[in-house]
Each structure stands twice: as C-alpha cells, then as structure tokens.
Structure 1
Amino acid sequence: MATSNSWESIDVHLLRVLHAVLTECSVSNAARRLNQSQPSVSTALRRLRDITGDPILVRSRNGMTPTERGMALLEPVKIALAQIEAIAVQQVRFNPAQSRRVFNIATPDYLNAGLIGQIVARLRKQAPQSQVAFHSLGPDYDYARALELGELDAVIGNWPQPPEHLRTVPLFEDDVVCLMRAGHPLASRQMKVEDYLQAEHLVPTPYAVGQRGVIDLHLARERLKRNVVAYVPYFNLVPQLLLQTDMVFSGPRLFAEYAKAQLPLAINEIPIAFPHMHFYLLWHDRTHQAEECRWFREQIMAVTRPGSRTQRMDERATVSLA
C-alpha cells in the first residue's frame, strides 16, 4: 500500500519508465525505447510498484497487460510529462511581425511628442499588430512596483540617482535651457545670474516622491534660490501658460525646441552651468530575459540614443541588454 508521502519520491525518470511500460506492455521493449538496460527499467518498475501499491503490469496470455490502476495512471502521466517538457523547452522565438502584445512604458511627459512619435512609428513598422501604451510618471505613480508586477515593461527616467534594484542603460543626455514667450523682456538679451533667479519661474511638480531634479539639486548646492511662482503637473501645459504670462520655464532643450517649433516661444541660454540631464531606460529582472521585452527595449534605444533620432532609424541598438 502506498504511504501518504510516497509520491514525493516520484521523479522524471520514473514517470518516463511508467509511461513506457504502460504503452509498450513489455519491460524489454520499454528499455529499448528509453535506450536503457532491462535491469534498470525493472528496478524502476519495482520502485513504481512500491510507490503505487499496485503491480502496474501483470502477466496475460499474450505477455503482459496493465492493471486497472496502471491504465488509470496512463493519462495523468502523459499530462505530467507534457507539462515538464513545456517547462524545460525554450519558448517560441518572438516574431515582432506577428506579435499582438501590448507594450507598456512610463515616461516623464517632457519627452516631447516628436520623440514619442518616433518610438511609436518604429514599433508600428516593426510590429504592426502590437500596441504600445504610454503611462505618465507622476508623484503618485509607483513605477518600481509597476515594473515588479509586470504592469510596466520599461520606464524612461532621468533621476540623478537611478534606483539600484532596477536594471538601467543610458539613452541620451540633454542640457537645460530657459523657455519663455517670444515677447518676454528676457527673450532678446543675454541673461545674467540675477536675471534668471529673479524671473518668475514656472516649475514642474516632481514626478517621483522624494526626488529632486537636476535644477533644484544644483541650485541647492550653489546656495541659490529662484523665484518660483507656480507649479505645473504636466509639461504639455507649460507652453500655454508661458504664452499668457511673463513666467519662464527651465527644462530639457529637446522639449523647448519642440515647443518653440509649434508656438511663438523663445529659448534663452541659462547663465548657470547646470549639469546635463541624463536619460536612461529602466526595467525589472522579471522581464530581463523575456525576448519580446528585450526587443522592445532595443527599439527604444534605436530611436533615443545619440545619432538615432535624425539618422539610422533602422539600425539595431549596439549596446547589449544581456
């Protein structure tokens, strides 16, 4: 009689032997099929009999025949072996042209529409049946947890110190400029430090709790303070607010140039040597080996890395994500 924990001693070898002897109804034929010796299969069969408390095979007029218990085990053994094979066999190669996957990425909203448009265009060309969902990073959005749970596949960020528990790869860097309406008093002359600090500043609401951006960190180190008069949660509101006021906005040059191309805005250089904003791609270990996520990251890199935004749009990313 099998004990309550006897099935704990079942392994893949015993399952394969059990399947072979039940389908071949012969120990010698099962041994040939498994490319094993007959004594080895006989030993495994004795172990199976001890575990199941059943003979499994018994003699008949035509040789050997499965017992009722043995026949009842055949289908579960087939299923078990199929499941084990599914675990062991590598997944089917990812085919972008046929994929219907939804890719999820979170970005700060000062990634201008032109850059996001290039990412979407590349994905549409390479994987026309897939979808991409952009999520806006905000102070209440726990992007690290979303990556861990698989709600996000990747994040584009530019925190001074990326989270250490996430994987990162650099994308590009950008300098900080001052954006204002074209008729602003500071638009047509070179700014001095006091001009910049005394101007009315429109400042973005931090998009990560407890994180300060490049500008605020640098000003604090230099013991300088700018005249902040308003905060805005979304960068896409900035151009319209600037058009209606004498506020100025300090942000990435890429964002400023895109806004200036659409509206009567001006860009002025800042008389303070702010460090460059370094943008990078983040992802979690759970998606590191997933072929489709790896491909998705490569497409983002191909668009955003230096030289890729204006040329070589179809080149593969040269930085390894392994």
Structure 2
Amino acid sequence: MRDQDLFDKIDLHLIRVLHTVLTERSVSRAAVRLGMHQPQVSAALRRLRELAGDPLLVRSGTGMVPTDAALRMVEPSARILRAAESLFSDARGFDPATTAQTFRVAASDYLDPQFLPALVADVKAQAPHAGIEIHPLSPDGHYSERLAQGEVDVVIGNWLQPPGDLHRAELFTDPVACLVGRDHPAVRRGWSADDWLAAEHVAPTPLHPGARGVIDEHLESLGLARNITARCAHFGLIPAMVAASLLVMTTGRQFCERYAGGLPLAILPPPIDFPPLTYYQLWHERSHASAAARWLRARIKAAAGQLRTA
C-alpha cells in the first residue's frame, strides 16, 4: 500500500481508539472510556490491525498486552491527539468550564507542600472536566525537549540560573533555612560555618549522576562542601528523618515552616550566606501563545501567590 493510500485511511477517531485501546489494554474498558459499543471498538481495532500489519494486542493469560509495535505507537498517538486538541481549542476560544484538555505539570515535591495540592484543587474547581497530571522532574534534565514535544506543559523548579532557551516567570523567592531536630546541639549552642559544614546533612537524591542542587552549587562557588551522609528521593519524607536524628536539612524557609509545627523540629539560620531560592515556571515557545496554556500558567502563579497567606 502506498504511503498516501495508507494516510487516506487514517482519521482522528481511529487514532483515539488506538490510544485508548493500547492504554486500557482491553476492548471493553476502551469502549466504556470512549462512550462506544464494544463491537464498534472491535471493528475499529480490526481496521487498525490491517493498517499496521500487526496484531497490536495479543492475549496473555486472562488479559491482553500490546505488541512491541503497539508500544511504540502509544506516545506518538498521544502527541497527535494533544496536537489536534490544541489546534482547535484556541481557534474556538478556551473555556475552562467546558474544556476536557489534560494539563501536564512537571515539578518536584521540594516546593511548599501545599503548593501542588492547591494548584490541582484550583484547576479542578475552575475546569471540572479537565485532567491534570503532576510529573516528576525529568532525570535527564532535558526540560526543553519534554516541553517541545508536549510531554509536559510547564516545568516548575528552582535554579541559580534557569535554562536560557525557555520562557520563564518567577513564582516566588524563599530565604534559605536549616531544619534540625529539636534536640540538635546547634539549637542550644548555635554553630559556626565550620560546625555547619561538618554536621551530618541530608539532601535530595540527585536527578542524574553528577547533578547538584542549588545549595551545593552555591557552596561549590565558594570553594566549600558540606558533609552529606544521607540522601532521599522523596523530599517530603526528609523532615521526619531530621526529627528523629542529628541530620540537618537546608532548604527554603517556607518548606521548613510547614513541618516545624507538627514535628519536634527547630528552624535555624545557616551560618553561611545563601541567596534566596527562586522558583520559576518554564514553558516552551510551542505553547507561549496558547490560551489554554496561558490559563494554566495563571493558575500556577495564583497558587504560588497564595502560599504566604496560607
């Protein structure tokens, strides 16, 4: 079959059926999601199998699993559907009350722990039919690529120097503070810079080998290094570790304040001067003019603006 002949047999509805069947791994569940009768989905799947020259879904035990060829189709089909949605949503005007668009935000839990829950609640309150996905920050740090491909709409984080090839907007700044257990010796006697550097520190697990957070980047610029003896990929678990040990957590004061009231913790100023942590939202030129994307960025800004009053 010539490429043009093949292309002429493909429509957006078939792509939607393809993506739904492959992600649900079930014709019956796909039919429910699509609001179709099961025989209609089965007929569409037969057409897709003919077009692909591949069974796409095969039996495995009591269920169905995608073939290797089908697995390679999942993300391209998702991109096609997102592009089609974007193509017409801005043309007819974006209405959060009726949109069924899915918004994708990449962020870590090292922000204020109330930020992401507040953002999700706000989006769902104003856009009840929309979806929202919170993705972890990419371990390879290729934010521009993920944004360009539509895998995420916005990346939120803090950088000493944010990537220069992306649009950005500052969300808030936060002074650096240290979180320690209430019985930590520094609570009683204070500490010098040498004491602080020698203390046992806990830090987030690097996103990729050799990666440094902003605290260690700044220390390196001063020719200093702290004594990190514990790491954890889940930032929200670290305060409980600190409360039960002599570990020191150094991060934004706002994050520390959220936990200090509920755990036996104390907040101390670091004996070394740090610039405040600056949090940004980043986005790609691809979505810069999109009405839906502008609305999402406004919701992110509003959620960040509420942190100090929460």
Q: Is the 8 A contact 2:97 2:127 kept in 1?
A: yes
Whether contact under 8 Å (1:138, 1:208) holds in the other structure is no
Structure 2 match to 1:227: 227
**What stretches of structure 1 of length at least 5 have no aligned partner?**
1-86, 314-322
> CA–CA distance in 2 between the matches of 1:208 and 1:158?
16
In structure 2, the partner of 1:115 is 115
Counterpart Cα distance in 2 of 1:296 and 1:143: 18
Judge conservation of contact 2:90–2:290 (CA < 8 Å) in 1. Answer: no
- Establish whether residue 184 from structure 1 lines up as the match of residue 184 from structure 2: yes
> How many angstroms apart in 2 are the aligned matches of 1:89 and 1:295?
13
Post-superposition Cα deviations, 1:275-313, rounded to whole Å, max 9, x if no partner, equal: 1111111001111111111100011112214xx4355x9
> Over residues 44-71 of structure 1, what are the superposed CA-to-partner deviations in whole Å (9 max), with x where a residue is unaligned?
xxxxxxxxxxxxxxxxxxxxxxxxxxxx
| Cα offsets for 1:71-108 (capped at 9, x unmatched) | xxxxxxxxxxxxxxxx9996111111111221110112
Aligned residue runs from structure 1 range 207-226, under 5 A: 207=207, 211-226=211-226
Q: Give the 5 Å matches for 1:92-103.
A: 92-103=92-103
Of stretches 133-142 and 122-131 in structure 1, the one that deviates more from structure 2 is: 133-142
Off by >6 Å, runs of 4+ in structure 1:
87-90
Distance 1:216 1:279, change over 3 A: same
- Residue type of the alignment partner of 1:218: H
Alignment of 1:35-74 (within 5 A): none
Is 1:127 aligned to residue 127 of structure 2?
A: yes
Where in structure 2 are there 5+ consecutive unaligned residues? 1-86
Is contact 2:176–2:250 with CA below 8 Å preserved after alignment? yes
Distance 1:260 1:288 in 2: 39
SS at match of 1:188: helix
Moved more, 139-148 or 230-239: 139-148
CA distance in 2, matches of 1:257, 1:106: 24
SS in structure 2 opposite 1:117? helix
Change (3 A) 1:107 1:222: same
Which has more radius of gyration? 1
Query: Matched residue pairs, number?
Result: 224
Check the 8 A contact 1:158/1:278 in 2, yes or no: yes
Instruction: Percent identity, please.
Output: 39
- Cα drift, residue 125 of structure 1: 2.2
1:104-137 CA-to-partner distances (Å, cap 9, x unmatched) read: 1011221132122221222122112222211121
SS in 2 for 1:186: helix
Aligned residue in 1 for 2:159: 159
CA distance in 2 between counterparts of 1:89 and 1:279 reads 29
Give the counterpart of 2:307 among 306, 309, 312. Answer: 309
In structure 1, what residue type is equivalent to 2:105? I
Specify whether residues 90 and 244 from structure 1 end up closer, same or farther in structure 2 by C-alpha distance, changes over 3 A only: closer
Q: Note the alpha carbon deviations across 1:189-232, whole angstroms, 9 max, x for none.
A: 43221221111011222336655333212212222222121222
SS at match of 1:113: coil
Root mean square deviation of aligned Cα = 2.3
Query: What is the CA–CA distance in structure 1 between the aligned matches of 2:226 and 2:266, rounded to whole Å?
Result: 20
Q: What is residue 172 of structure 1 aligned with on the other side?
A: 172
Q: Counterparts of 1:103 and 1:94 in 2: how far apart (Å)?
A: 13
Instruction: Tell me, yes or no, if the aligned pair for 1:120 and 1:132 is still in contact at 8 Å.
Output: yes
Q: After superposition, give the CA deviation of every residue in 1:234-277 in whole Å (9 maximum; x if it has no partner).
A: 20221232133211111111211112233222111111111111
**CA distance in 2: counterparts of 1:279 and 1:90, whole angstroms:** 28
* CA separation of 1:144 and 1:261: change in aligned 2, threshold 3 A: farther
2:106 aligns to what? 106
